[in-house]
Amino acid sequence: MRKILAFFVVLPLVLACLGVVWIYTPVREHQPRRWYTMPIEALRADLFADWGVIQPQAEIPSSSSPRIYERDLIDPATVTYEFDGERRTVSDYIERANVSGLMLLHDGKVRTEVYRKGLDRESRSHIWSASKSFTATLIGMAVYDGTIQSLDDRVEVYAPQFVGTAYGETSIRHVMMMSSGIDFHHFEGSPNRDDLYDAVLQRGEDFDRWAAALGRRTAPGTDFNYIATDTHVLSAVLRGAYGKPFAEVVEEKLWEPGGFGAARWGLDASGHAMGHCCLSLRLQDFANLGQLYLEDLELGGEPVVGPDWIAAVEQAQAPFQEPVVSPEASRRSGYSFQFWLPPAYDREFIAMGAFGQYLWIDRERGFVVAQFSTGASLRQMLTSGGASSTAVSEEETFAVMRALGGVG
């Protein structure tokens, strides 16, 4: 009997050790199986700061004239906000939200700067879907410089690999709105994100070909459906329009003139940047995009987008993109052109990524908040049924962002 009990005690340990060996055994030049460690919150800070273990990355060099921000720091413990009938401090929020980096820019100065979980000022962390807003900004720039003639052009005009496909016949505008009508799903339904990442990251499939094979769910421009493939297709449009790799477009059009520091963008096995995610950058460079929006996206004293672009980013482009006020709704925030819109938005828009990556831009009050986070614990994710990867609610995070805007 003791031998039998010992067997059942030792077996799980042996299986666990084999699992660790399987996850950490290199596949190609990287270890994409480490994706499966994502549920463990304690491992995420290191993983997000070293995303190159998951997939190859394109280097985006620092601008030759990196932007330098003056610092006039305040203690986040002195900033309070009201939520759920309680008065709380931003320091308390930082702890409970598993924040690994927080920066407030107000009037062009760094007013709050916090690093935790092993990160520092030079750490480059993976911002997940907040990358979408960088891709979208480049679309706006391409329209302004005439490389893309119109947002109403079809995808296939600039990305011939999508000719004859559902994506190919869809307008860039509807893809920008997350209203492509493509048969893909973020959470429930099939195919979904799990299918995508299994194919592209684990099996090394070409993301363009994978997206091109998707069918149509409904007519474009008729509903909101937030999906990863839409933004990747936008990056393919940019590659085709400029005739060069996406990372080079990022460097030449935004990074160099915008004063950003060195960054990396994740690639699929074919060498195509995954435009919907996978940008790794410093916290200050995350915030820098927001500051550029406060400054009307003028680089070197010259506008790089039209005035209609920023107006479009600040507001929903169709009624189905507006925030949803019902407490039963699966989604409450609204959407514009690859930026989220908080309830009761007033020239406020957000680049938002999984596990609590936020870039809050408030053009009305002139401030920006950038946040890195490791997100929800495994228990929290199980409790939510996987519906949320953040450690605190979106509503509380928005209350914190707006409170930080009151810092003079």
DSSP character string of 300-355: TTEESS-HHHHHHHTS-SSGGGS----TT-S--SEESSSSEE-TT-SSEEEEEETT
pLDDT of residue 387: 65
Q: Along the 408 residues of the chain, how does pLDDT read in single tens digits? A: 333 233 333 334 433 433 443 444 544 568 999 999 999 999 999 999 999 999 999 999 999 999 999 999 999 999 999 999 999 999 999 999 999 999 999 999 999 999 999 999 999 999 999 999 999 999 999 999 999 999 999 999 999 999 999 999 999 999 999 999 999 999 788 999 999 999 999 999 999 999 999 999 999 999 999 999 999 999 999 999 999 999 999 999 999 999 999 999 999 999 999 999 999 999 999 999 999 999 999 999 999 999 899 999 999 999 999 999 776 666 789 999 999 999 999 999 999 999 999 999 999 999 999 999 999 998 888 877 666 899 899 999 999 999 999 986
Contact 37, 23 (CB under 8 A): yes
208 contacts: CB under 8 Å, gap ≥ 6: 159, 161, 162, 232, 236, 270, 272
Distance in angstroms (rounded) separating the CA atoms of residues 376 and 397: 13
**Start-to-end C-alpha separation, the chain:** 71
Half-sphere exposure (Cβ direction) of 56: Cα atoms closer than 13 Å: 14
Which amino acid makes up residue 69?
A: Y
pLDDT of residue 11: 37
Two tokens, residue 101: 């980096």
What is the tens place of the pLDDT at every residue in 30-58? 899 999 999 999 999 999 999 999 999 99
Contact 168, 156 (CB under 8 A): yes
pLDDT of residue 42: 95
Distance in angstroms (rounded) separating the CA atoms of residues 400 and 94: 10
* DSSP single-letter state for residue 128: G
Contact 377, 215 (CB under 8 A): no
pLDDT of residue 391: 86
3 state DSSP class of 359: strand
Alpha-carbon Rg for the chain in angstroms: 21
Distance in angstroms (rounded) separating the CA atoms of residues 148 and 348: 27
pLDDT of residue 250: 98
57-404 homologous superfamily: DD-peptidase/beta-lactamase superfamily (3.40.710.10)
pLDDT of residue 8: 33
45 contacts: CB under 8 Å, gap ≥ 6: 100, 117, 118, 119, 125, 374
Residue 327, preceding peptide bond in cis (omega within 30° of 0): no
Beta partners for 369?
104, 360
Distance in angstroms (rounded) separating the CA atoms of residues 71 and 77: 17
* Cα distances (Å, whole numbers) of residue 272 to 207, 237, 238, 248, 396: 8, 12, 12, 11, 36
What residue ranges do the domains of the chain occupy? 2-41, 57-404
